[in-house]
Structure 1
Amino acid sequence: MQNTHVDVAIIGGGPGGYATALRAGELGLSVALINREDRLGGTCLNRGCIPSKALITATRAIHNVRDAKRMGIDASIQNIDVAKLADFKNHAVKAMTDGLASLLAARKVTVIKGEASIVENHHVRVQIDQMQIEGGAFDEITADNIVVATGSRPRPLPGHRFEGPLIDSTQALDLPTLPKSAVIVGAGAVAVEFASMWNAAGVDVTLLIRHERVLSHMHRRTSMALTRALAKNGVHIITHSHLTDIDDSANSAGATVRYSSDKDKDATEHQIQADVVLAAIGRDPNTDADWFTSSGIELDEHGLVKTDDFGRTGQPGLWALGDITPGPALAYRAFEQGIVIAESIAGRDPKPVDDTTVPEVVFSTPEFASVGLTLEQAKAATDILEPQETAYPMMGNARMLMSGEAGSMSIVSGAYGDKPDTPVVLGVHMLAPDAGDLIAEAEQLVGNRVALSDAARLIHPHPTFSEAFGEALLKADGRPLHTR
């Protein structure tokens, strides 16, 4: 048994946990970061953001080769070496996780591998492999502050376990071979990204979605444009569908997926054969360990930890962040939550995370990106005056025209009640190549409440995709240049 006392003990080595550790260490606090896995980085670095984007980068190269014929270039894909593709993905993951370990060491963060639990106020017990610690299997840590960042896991389909051809996103990233056919159940970011990725690699992809469009919780016009773009690229999208059964009892590999559709008046059941079925219907918070209840952490009806705007739970010195808290389950939101918590612990006076300024990006082909309010949300807000939406025709942009991709650009503007004569940018929603990079400028405008007239005067280089955003701002400000 070893006993350690630190200023901050963090349970979970994902984006929120390690961001807290890095900032706390930078501020001179003593920090212990407890991670139950061999590698730091959590889902994002090991099973989510980084490996998936590595594969998306590779399969976009395939998409571009196939699109080259449109421009007069006769090229073809001879072979996809799945083993080398996996090496490319794994190299990206290793580079990021090794770099993270070096950063934590430089900030003098003590990293402990083991399974952590809160056993009493300000005490964390870590179950450690017997071979790692002489004289006992547990490490006892006391801390003035404990930060819980245990993350989330893929949500299974009701009544079905992840087994056989029914897989989750983690398993999908490690398939030894590309399937010939795949059914994806879901319409969110993970479902759409895998649909784009596999489709580009030549997989016959069917997407089962419950509503009329993918990303149904997002900006309507932009998500409808993405739905059409996916269909144009070859993804089979079955709207208004409801999964009824997955049967893998046949002798042959794969599964029979059965579903019904709201479009059928007689409740006809349809079926599809597929090599794999990816369930991508969301993620569940890792808050079901007994110590959450015994330590007095209060959960809401979704199993999420209740906190104030700064991450404080109802227990003194106990904080929570990331996927286990209400709000967008995004790595970069967790980064900022971690910074806010570390600075709060250190006695600084940080601003809390404003979820309306957190951008959402889907790395589909083309990319979807959104930040701020939709028109409906702006109209529902009591402190916003005269909200309006401006749509810009993206085909008026030279680079969009050259790309051959679908596009969409909408700006929501309006004035806040404390400055009724100064309209600002309230939200931006776009579909375009590199939209994930373009949204960063929009985030600055929305987050800093930049006056629309000032934003519209910013100059964008020509010809670029970003120029479309500049043109849209001009139109929103009542000064359209290359459009009516």
Structure 2
Amino acid sequence: MAFDYDLFVIGGGSGGVRAARMAAATGARVGLAEQSRMGGTCVIRGCVPKKLMVFASQFSDTHEVAARYGWTFGEGTFDWPSFRTHLHSELDRLEGIYRKLLDGAGVAIHDAHATVEDPHRVRLSSGETVSAAHLLIATGGRPIRPEIPCAEIGMVSDDVFLMEDLPRSILIVGGGYIACEMACILNGLGVEVTQIYRGAQILRGFDDEARGLVAESIREKGIDLHTGTDIKLMGPPETDFDLPAGEPMVQAANVGAGGPVKVKTTMGGEKVFDAVLFATGREPNTAGLGLEQLGIELGRGGHVPVDEYSQTKVPSIYAIGDVTGRPALTPVAIRDAMAFARTVFEGTPTPIDHQMIPSAIFTQPEYGAVGLTEEQARSQEPIEVYATSFRPMRTAFAGRPDRVLMKLIVSQATRRILGCHIVAPEAGEMIQLAAVAIRMGATKEDFDRTVAVHPTMAEEIVTLRTSVRRG
């Protein structure tokens, strides 16, 4: 059977674009469909605009620190419309680069929604039907709202980058990395931030000691963080929560996302916020793809089940990135894409390796991690913990209370470092380099033999001599 393409990719995010370009480089005929903007979550409504907002938010306390170093500056003000214009110009530029890269590789771009009709055919919203020897699902994920009345008047993370104006006050619901990052960003831009999370502590799944310090730092920044609580009811400012059930939903019918919201929490408090942001999870973009009709039963939460080569139960259909339920990180999607291309188009079967993936949470200070948490490691084998927390020189000199954490988790049996956790400014930069050594199997003694770079925060990682806990 003759096909229109050797590969057809559904999704123009980081994973889909990389897979398309690598396959095309082998001489394959490649098509790609993207219903939104090229670049996907990372470039358009995730990593890139988020990090630029992180940079913007960090200037807010510059004059305070600088004054202790002898500098005098005016107070300064933040101009959101100006920043927003520049931000979107940059995103437009990056999207253009993605399109240029695909075009230069010879990939045919279809600006349309795609639905899988059979193992080799895709129907596009433009009305066209195309066929391919292989189909690759790379549709990523999207933020979700909780199933509570009037949730539609709250924002999700995608909406933050589109705000016309900054709210004066905001309630952020959630305790994951997106919620915590957005809390720090908006606080740094001058917004009065309240954050609530139904769990006992933010950043569930990360190291307990590290996330405890992040929570402490968030509160010291002036963010009103409450754990063990959630939204019970919400509606427009005039909502009377004492009315019979259902009334708030009726009143909210004509209210759009991002407007003033009245909230009642499970702790009984009521307050009106200029905006509410739900950072309560994400789900795979699998709705309407047509996979179920081919016998591909979606997993819990809607992800596409795949094997170690990213292949589904239908041999011609593959899936990579967030849509598979693997770690929702851009570098993971890109690695998935590279392994897929090598397996299918370069003739080199390459299984996916998701061990020792480093990650960074861009709170203030940042939190970088690689490997096991102390709790995970202790449940597997006897360990030693080496850790220190201190005030870094830069801000200590300015009289600020900021603290950082450096932590290594070590196997008693092999002396290999099982995990590294850093809470500090630029922790993301530090953990990337530490991850190389730890991924290679470095031992505590390898770190001990490394000469420190002084004076730096990072030198503490190689000068930890005495364990603080064993077990």
TM-score by length of 2: 0.88
> For 1:400-445, what per-residue CA distance to the aligned partner results, in whole angstroms no more than 9, with x for missing partners?
7458432112111216xxxx5x421111111100011111122212
Given residue 204 of structure 1, which amino acid in structure 2 is its aligned partner?
E
Given residue 406 of structure 1, which amino acid in structure 2 is its aligned partner?
R
The residue number in structure 2 matching 1:387 is 383
> For 1:77-135, what per-residue CA distance to the aligned partner results, in whole angstroms no more than 9, with x for missing partners?
3322222111221133123222222222232222221111111111122222xxxxxxx
Given residue 97 of structure 1, which amino acid in structure 2 is its aligned partner?
E
Q: CA deviation at 1:399?
A: 5.0
Secondary structure at the residue paired with 1:258? strand
Distance 1:242 1:162 in 2: 13
Unaligned runs of 5+ in 1: 129-136, 262-268, 479-484
The residue number in structure 1 matching 2:350 is 350
Name the % identity: 27
Q: CA deviation at 1:200?
A: 1.0
The residue number in structure 2 matching 1:202 is 190
Q: 2:430 aligns with which of 429, 438, 448?
A: 438
Matches within 5 A, 1:329-408: 329-346=328-345, 347-354=347-354, 356-381=355-380, 385-395=381-391, 398=393, 401-402=396-397, 404=400, 405-408=402-405
Q: CA deviation at 1:44?
A: 1.2
Query: Does the 8 Å CA contact 1:310/1:353 hold for their aligned counterparts?
Result: no
Matches within 5 A, 1:112-261: 112-128=110-126, 137-138=127-128, 140-160=129-149, 163-164=152-153, 166-250=154-238, 254-261=260-267
Distance 1:230 1:249 in 2: 28
The residue number in structure 2 matching 1:314 is 313
Moved more, 237-246 or 16-25: 16-25
Q: CA deviation at 1:75?
A: 2.9
Query: Does the 8 Å CA contact 1:152/1:285 hold for their aligned counterparts?
Result: yes
Query: Does the 8 Å CA contact 1:394/1:468 hold for their aligned counterparts?
Result: no
> For 1:444-478, what per-residue CA distance to the aligned partner results, in whole angstroms no more than 9, with x for missing partners?
12322223322333344322332232334x55699
Distance 2:68 2:238 in 1: 42
The residue number in structure 1 matching 2:80 is 82
TM-score by length of 1: 0.86
Q: 2:416 aligns with which of 424, 427, 433?
A: 424
Distance 2:9 2:373 in 1: 36
> For 1:216-246, what per-residue CA distance to the aligned partner results, in whole angstroms no more than 9, with x for missing partners?
2211101100100010010001121121011
Secondary structure at the residue paired with 1:364? coil
Query: Does the 8 Å CA contact 1:456/1:477 hold for their aligned counterparts?
Result: no
- With over 3 angstroms needed to count, the CA separation of the structure-2 counterparts of 1:126 and 1:290, relative to structure 1, is closer
Distance 2:280 2:189 in 1: 23
Moved more, 151-160 or 233-242: 151-160
Query: Does the 8 Å CA contact 1:162/1:168 hold for their aligned counterparts?
Result: no
- With over 3 angstroms needed to count, the CA separation of the structure-2 counterparts of 1:98 and 1:66, relative to structure 1, is farther
Distance 2:311 2:323 in 1: 13
- With over 3 angstroms needed to count, the CA separation of the structure-2 counterparts of 1:409 and 1:98, relative to structure 1, is same
- With over 3 angstroms needed to count, the CA separation of the structure-2 counterparts of 1:113 and 1:290, relative to structure 1, is closer
- With over 3 angstroms needed to count, the CA separation of the structure-2 counterparts of 1:199 and 1:298, relative to structure 1, is same
State the aligned residue count.
Answer: 447
Given residue 365 of structure 2, which amino acid in structure 1 is its aligned partner?
P
Query: Does the 8 Å CA contact 2:120/2:316 hold for their aligned counterparts?
Result: yes
- With over 3 angstroms needed to count, the CA separation of the structure-2 counterparts of 1:317 and 1:426, relative to structure 1, is same
- With over 3 angstroms needed to count, the CA separation of the structure-2 counterparts of 1:88 and 1:67, relative to structure 1, is farther
- With over 3 angstroms needed to count, the CA separation of the structure-2 counterparts of 1:454 and 1:33, relative to structure 1, is same
Distance 2:57 2:233 in 1: 31
Unaligned runs of 5+ in 2: 240-254
- With over 3 angstroms needed to count, the CA separation of the structure-2 counterparts of 1:101 and 1:250, relative to structure 1, is same
Distance 2:77 2:220 in 1: 24
Query: Does the 8 Å CA contact 2:150/2:234 hold for their aligned counterparts?
Result: no
Query: Does the 8 Å CA contact 1:413/1:426 hold for their aligned counterparts?
Result: yes
> For 1:310-363, what per-residue CA distance to the aligned partner results, in whole angstroms no more than 9, with x for missing partners?
211111021112122123211121111111111111211324122x42222111
Given residue 446 of structure 1, which amino acid in structure 2 is its aligned partner?
I
